[in-house]
Amino acid sequence: MSAQIFSFIFSMWILILVGGGLMVLFVGPISFAGFGEIDPIINSGIKVLIALILIFIWIFTLTKIKNWIFQRQTSS
């Protein structure tokens, strides 16, 4: 069982690294101009939205991995 928990921790670590890469490469550079003084708010709002979607995907993926790794244990 310990080996499965270690592998789950390792999976989470990989997902954090990948998620971080997506944040830096795609979410960070997003910029919308032309709305005057509210530009920073619109930019941040869109980034928040994308970040929330990414977190949702992250948790969804993690749940699938959890079910896959702990299939027997979680159903017992």
Chain positions contacting other proteins, by CB under 8 A: 1-2, 4-6, 8-10, 12-13, 16-17, 20-21, 23-25, 27-28, 40-41, 44, 47-48, 51, 59, 62-63, 66, 70, 72-74, 76
State which residue, 15 or 34, has the beta carbon closest to other proteins. Answer: 15
| Alpha-carbon distance values, 28 to 35, 45, 51 (Å) | 19, 12, 10
List phi, psi (to 5°) of 52: -65, -40
State which residue, 34 or 72, has the beta carbon closest to other proteins: 72
